Amino acid sequence: MRALNWFIRLILFMLLFGLALNNLEPTVLHLLFGTQWKAPLFVLLLAAFTLGAVLGALAMLPGWMRHRRMRAAHAAKQNPEPTAIEPIRAAPGVIDGTPDGV
C-alpha cells in the first residue's frame, strides 16, 4: 500500500512538472491601480493555488477551533478529574492505630 501511495505521488509530481515545463512563457498579471506582475505562467498558477489553499484554511480555522473546544469539553465531562481524598481521622483516644493503654 505504501509503494502504491508513493507511485501515485510520483505520477502526480511528473504531471505537474511537465505542466510547468510547458508553461515557461512570461505572462503579465494586471493587478489593481495599474500595477503588473511579470512571471512565468506556472509561477502565477502556483501562487494562485497557494493563496487559495491558505485562504481556505484560514476560513475553516474558526470551525476547527470550535470543534476542538467542544471535543475537549466532552472529554472532560466523560472523564472527570479525580477529587482530593480526605485523610482518614483516627477515633479519639487512638494513637498510631492502637487504643490507649495497650
Cβ neighbours for 36, distance < 8 A, ≥ 6 positions apart: 28, 29, 30
Tell me, yes or no, whether 92 lies in a domain: no
pLDDT tens per residue across all 102 residues of the chain: 889 999 999 999 899 888 888 878 888 988 899 899 898 888 888 888 899 999 999 999 999 999 999 998 888 888 766 666 666 666 666 566 566 555
Range(s) of the domain holding residue 26: 1-62
**Element (DSSP H or E) covering residue 70:** helix 41-78
pLDDT at 22: 85
Instruction: Please report the pLDDT score of residue 58 as a whole number.
Output: 96
Q: Report yes or no on 24 lying in a domain.
A: yes
For the record, the C-alpha cell of 87 comes out as 485523610
At residue 87, the pLDDT reads: 65
The count of structural domains within the chain is: 1
Total-model pTM: 0.53
